[in-house]
Every structure is written in C-alpha cells, then in structure tokens.
Amino acid sequence: MSEAGSLRIAGCHYPAGSAAGQAAELHVSADGALRLEPGGRALGHWRGLRVPERLGRAPRVLGLGDGGGFETGDNAAVDACERRFRGRVAGGRLHALEGRWTIAWLALAGLGFSIFAGFVWGIPALAARVAPWLPASVVVGSSEETLASLDRHVLRPSRLPAARCEALEATRARLAARAGLSGGRLECRRGGAFGANAFALPSGLVVITDEFVELGGDDDELAGVLAHEVAHVEYRHGLRQALQGSLLTLGAALLTGDLANAGSFIAHLPVVLAGLHYSRDFEREADARGAALMRAEGRDPRALARALARLEGAARQKERPAAPAWLSDHPDTQERIARIEALAR
Amino acid sequence: MLPPASCRAPYDDFEGLSLVPLDNAPDRPPAPPAGGALPPLSGPPPRQPHPPGLPVAAVPLRMRVQFHGEGGEFFRIWIVNLLLTVLTLGIYSAWAKVRTRRYFYGCTSLAGSTFEYLAEPVAILKGRAVLAVALLLLYASLSMMPLFGAALLVGALPFVPALIVSSLRFNYRVTRWRNVAFRFTGSYGGAAVAFLLWPLLGVVSFGLLWPKAIQAQRSYLLNHVHYGNAAFSADIPLWPVYGCSIVASVLLGIVTAVATVLSGLMLARAGLRPQSMADLDHWQLFALVLPTLAYLFGLTLSAAYYRAALRNIVLADVAIGDGHGLRSHVSVLDYIAFATGNLLLTVVTLGLARPWVRVRTARYFATTTTIRFAVPAGAAMAGIAAVTEAAGRRGSTLGDAAGDAFDWDLSL
C-alpha cells in the first residue's frame, strides 16, 4: 500500500516508439518523484510530464520525458497531482465550466442573447464601419456590371420621351447634391418582369422603370421615390447589405459548422430571413432620409407615401397578394406610409 | 486525501471482444461472450483468470471499436465552446475544435486504449484566419464582381489538392493510438488526380464517371494511411460503388419527381403561377414549402443510404500491416432509420439536440467497425512497432483549416 502522501495511478504504459503497451502503475511519491511499476524504473519528476487538459471523463495519455506515454482514466488522481506539484490544473477552469448543468443553461441563455445582439447591433455596426473603406473603383465597376447584366436579361430600353427622363435626372441631381453626393446618374428603362419599380446601385446609379412613371404620379411623388433611392446611395445600403450578408454567412458557418447535407440547407434558412430583416431596416432608413431630403428641397415629404399608396393600389388591381411581412425585402407598405406621415407631421 | 489507486483500464472494452476464427466470422458485430471469457491483452490485464481451453495464440481476433461519450457531457462542452466562440468573435473556434475532437477521440477506444488528438489550437487559428479572409474576399468579389470572382475561383482550384494533402498529413500526424502516431503519405499528384481530374471527368461525362471519381478518392484517402509502420491498404471494387450510386440516384429521383408533381398540383389548385418569393402569400408559401420538405426528407434518406452502403463497400476489407484488418458492417436500413431520426431530432429542437446526435452517431459508427488482429492483441501490438515520423514533412496549418471545412479524414 502507499506510503503517506504518495499515490499510485493505474493505467497502461507505452514505451517510446512502440504500441506494445503494458498494464502498469505510476507511483508518485510525496515530493513528486515518479516510478513505474512493475520494473521500478524512475521517470523523473511530475513536472516533467506533459499532461493534456482534462476533458470530461475521457482518459488522458501523460507524455513521459523519454517519449513514452502513460494512459490513465484516473482523472481525479492526475488532477490532484497537477494541483500539488504544478500548483494548477491545466484547463481546470474550463473543465469546471463544462462540468455543471447550471453553467450549461446559463451559457445557452448567454449564447441566445449574444446571437441576438450580434444580429441586431453587431453585424450592422461592423458593416457600416467597413463600407466606406471599399475602393470607389470597385463600387462603380460592379454597379455598371450589374446594370449591364440587368439590361441583357430583364430590362428593355425606355419608351418615355427623352425630356421626361432628363427632368427626372435633374431632380435626382438636385437631391443628390442636397445629400452631399457627387456623381451618379439616372437611367430610365422599361421594367419588364420588374414592373413598376425603382432601385439604386452603390455607385449612385438610380434606375426608374417606365411603368412607375406611367402610374400617373405627379412630379413630387416621383421626386419622393428618387429621394428614397438617393438616400440608399448616401447611406451605402447596397454595399452594407452585401457585407452584412457575408458576415451573416460567416457567423452561421461558425455556429453550425458541423451540420451536414440537408441540415446545412435548413441552417441556411435563418441566414436568408436575417438578410431580409436587414433589407427592411434599410428601407425604413431610406424612407426617413428621403422625407428629410424632400423637406430640405422645399417639397412635400409625404410625396413618397402617396407614391407607395399608388403603387399598392396598382398591385391590388392586378390582384397580386402581398408577401408575408417576414418574407419580404421591403416592410409592409401601410407601415411605411404611416411612418412617413408621422415623420412629416 | 488522494483517491485510492486501482489497477484499472481507462475503459473496460472487453465485453465487445470475442474470439472468432476468421473463417466463420459473422458479418454483424459479435455478441458479447457470456461469462467474460477473455484472452489476455497487452495493456489492462483481464479481471478474471484466463479459463483453460480457450485458444490464446494463433487465432485471429475481432474487436469492436467502442465509444464511451455521453450526450449530456458533450452538450456541456459544446455549449461552452459555442458561447466562448461567439464572445471571442470566432477566435475560440480553434480551441473549440480541438476540444471537440479530443473528446471524441478520447472517448473512442479499441482494445482498452483510446485515441489522442494532439493539434495545437494556435496553429489551427492561423489557418482559419487565412481561410476566413480568403472566403470573405471570394464571397465579396462574387457578389460585387461576378466575373472576377469566378476567375478567382478557377484560379484557386490547383491549390485545392495541396490543401487536402497537407490537411490529411496534419490530421493524421496529430492522431495517436497507444502512443503511436498515424501518418499520411499521399502525394500532390495523387490528390490532383483523385480530387480534380476524376471529378472533372465525372462532370464532363454527365455523372457517368462520378462513381469512379468517388472510388478513386476513397482509394486515395485510404491507401496512404499508416499506423506506425503498418500501412492501410484496400482494393475498393468499382462496380459496387456504381451500384450504390445508382440506387441512391434513383431514390433521389423518385422523391424529386413526387415532390415536383405535388408542388405543381398544389400551386395549380391555389390558382397560381410560380412567381418571385416576394409575391407569395402564406398559402402559396405552404404549397411550395411542403414539397420542399418532402424533397429534403428524400435527400436525407438517399444520403443516409449512400453513406452506409458506401462505407460498407470502402471498408469491406481493409488490410492493416501484417495481417491485421478493419471492416465496416453497417446495416443499411437500420442506418437510414437512425439518420432520419437524427435529422428530425435536430430540426425539432432547433439544433439543440446536435450534441446528442453527434455522440449517438459516433457510437453508431464505432460499434459497426471491427478491427481484426492477426494474432492475439498482445503480440499484434508488438508487431506494430512505431516508426519515427519523417522529419521536415509538416502539414501546414492552412491545410488543416481547409481540411476543417472539407472534413477530410478517415473517420472510423
């Protein structure tokens, strides 16, 4: 039996460079000297061992100084020796965290909150900081590429009178100057599958479709729509949406890295929904800024609300039901109108 | 007070061990022998005296790989890993990976000895940082400059085999059993043929050569593994790989067809033509989602079938060194039910059951793998004398991080 203060650890000894192990005991004396039994070979001091961190109940292989190993499932004895001869247990704090269910449930709650906070505040803030650093040439080039691609596949040349389009461009230029933006231009196109629509690309390029102009809105309404698009450009929403999409994908990959096959598809769904959420936030921001730009121009800030109502009325005539709010890249139209009215008051 | 010492193996694996001559070895894992009659092994000694009359020498032994992890225990490790990963903005993920692997390796045992995973988290972190930046750039350029991004993607192709090889080298080098490391000795050329050339031919031939590509890849992955000085070798037959690929494709084809017809019928009933997502209401959405779910379910069935069947073909008869061997005997139908249950469990619990699923899966594949020792284990171990690792052939950490993404390893 053991002398006072000494300890025996049962396990399996592997000599250096060989898998031929032997059942053995590691005798640890009160001052930390090691002896292997059977055989009685001295193995130096405990502090000379390479001790892996504790991990659940999994056995550990202690690295001996001579390249051999000693495998043992007696984690308590190993930790006791670590505490006594090294003063601390490597990874002991982690093991303590991982050992308790209370901590696990707290960690779960903390994780839920962290994901929520990262999604609501972290990612948008990071993207807003990074967006201004992207080189202008990339932004302009990619926007032109996007328009060229849309021209090939969806859009057709505009049939509006040239004067109408030029007037709209003049309005856009005034609004852009008011927002402190230089450059950018307006393009008129027949929308095709896009229908009545207007959108902005990161370089400042704004596209409005004939169908939108032909809805019959007055000049203020169209200016309101252009102000909304200029606001998207001013706040770099296109870039930020792309960046936030990348960050979301990265975050999801980090969290669900071990999901495979069909599981990865299911894991991708939250990323899509979160992306749509960001898009709706940008639309609200652009509505508010657009209204402010209109007011600064001395025009009616409610004009965009009227344009939206007209757009929705046209859609209703065609009996096209609206998408569920959580699946749309724009907020509910009635909500947007109410917000703009409230801002204009 | 220090705990009393006892002569105890890390795990008692011996109930999984049986003495079966190879000639009439069963396909399924042998049932635990009654009465615990066991041969002496190296390592932990048997609890009971060896009964007379049982052969000790010169009889091939089959031993099941065992897994001792517990879902609850791994859940606690997993949730702490995730929280620390999120709080450190991903930096801890390298440590999380090492802890997870160490847990699964440490809980996997064969003949009473567990596996070790000795990778350095800092090394993995560096690799991951490079990979994350590269992926971010690629993603950004694909979304902003599609042409340039695509060119970048094609330009990166020749690096893929290099990443695979160095990842495999790294992962095997840090994997040990009974204090002896594994090695991977595959070359870049071999990886390029298996992971670029054959898949390319598979695509060009409209999938006809795809099973050949799978066979070439598995063969490459398996035939360059060494445990100490014992080399793994396996002749993976081509036609069974074709067979199980065809069955899996037909299974998927049937489910896809049914889901598509169902979707068409439901959309027609709702009086609609398929439009962009933004124009759908709840009912139309349901009409689209239901067949999609059916499709995913079918995909799960097909993937589970393929995984189990392919594993049995690839690991049907792997020779290890001097007369030792490895064999997989997954029951295909059983595994399909198992994998489907796992997917449902994961989805219903929004991913929270993932740790239990992983532990269950590890146990499933461990216990459906047997190792054959040519002679009773004690002598067999002596036969696997370790070789020293070749100096200067260090796997890069970048490769390991990429291997992370692709998960190339020969998981037992």
> Which domains does chain A carry?
7-98 (2.30.29), 129-344 (no CATH)
Give the long-range contacts of residues B249-255, CB within 8 A, separation 24 or more.
B249/B302, B251/B298, B251/B301, B251/B302, B251/B305, B252/B298, B252/B299, B252/B302, B254/B298, B255/B294, B255/B295, B255/B297, B255/B298, B255/B299, B255/B301, B255/B302
Higher pLDDT, A209 or B400: A209
Paired residues of A156 in beta bridges: A190
Please give the pLDDT value at position B219.
93
What average pLDDT does this structure show over A163-173?
A: 88
ipTM of the modeled complex:
0.75
For residue A322, the chain B residue with the least C-alpha distance is B279
What average pLDDT does this structure show over B303-319?
A: 91
**Residue corresponding to tokens 């960050």:** A247
The mean pLDDT of chain A is 83
Handedness of CA B146, B148, B151, B156 (dihedral sign): negative
Please give the pLDDT value at position A109.
93
Q: What angle do CA B153, B300, B220 make, to 5 degrees?
A: 50
Helix (H/G/I), strand (E/B), else coil: B91: coil
Q: Are A111 and B79 in contact (CB < 8 Å)?
A: yes
Is A114 an 8 Å CB contact of chain B?
yes
Please give the pLDDT value at position B381.
56
Please give the pLDDT value at position B269.
66
A197 pLDDT band, cuts 50/70/90, is confident
**Residue corresponding to tokens 């852009």:** A176
From A10, A69, A139, residue closest to B5, measured CB to CB: A10
CA–CA dist B289, B285 (Å, integer): 6
Residue B398: count of CB within 10 angstroms of its CB: 23
pLDDT tens-digit readout, B13-48: 433 333 333 333 333 333 333 333 333 333 343 333
The pair phi, psi for residue A82, each rounded to 5°, is -60, -45
Higher pLDDT, A242 or A125: A125
Please give the pLDDT value at position B34.
35
pLDDT tens-digit readout, A223-276: 888 898 889 888 888 888 888 888 887 777 777 664 443 345 666 777 788 888
B270 pLDDT band, cuts 50/70/90, is low
For residue A243, the chain B residue with the least C-alpha distance is B140
Quote the tokens at residue A319. 């009996």
Is A110 an 8 Å CB contact of chain B?
yes
* Burial of residue B221 (number of CB atoms within 10 Å: 0-12, 13-18, 19+): buried
Strands B225-227 and B61-64: unpaired
Please give the pLDDT value at position A214.
84
B191 pLDDT band, cuts 50/70/90, is very high
**pLDDT for B187 beyond 50:** yes
Handedness of CA A74, A79, A80, A81 (dihedral sign): positive
**Residue corresponding to tokens 């020293």:** B388
Q: Are B79 and A104 in contact (CB < 8 Å)?
A: yes
From B77, B179, B300, residue closest to A56, measured CB to CB: B77
pLDDT tens-digit readout, A295-316: 888 888 888 888 888 888 777 6
Lateral strand order in the sheet of A205-209: A156-157, A185-190, A205-209, A198-200
B153 pLDDT band, cuts 50/70/90, is confident
CA–CA dist B142, B146 (Å, integer): 4
Q: Are A17 and B385 in contact (CB < 8 Å)?
A: yes
The pTM of this model reads 0.77
Please give the pLDDT value at position B63.
82
| Cis peptide bond N-terminal to A38, omega within 30 | yes
Q: Are A322 and B281 in contact (CB < 8 Å)?
A: yes
Chain A residues with CB-CB distance to B278 below 8 A: 323, 327-330
pLDDT tens-digit readout, A67-84: 888 999 889 899 989 988
Quote the tokens at residue A249. 């994908």
Handedness of CA B260, B266, B272, B274 (dihedral sign): negative
Please give the pLDDT value at position A135.
72
CB B67, CB B29: distance < 8 Å: no
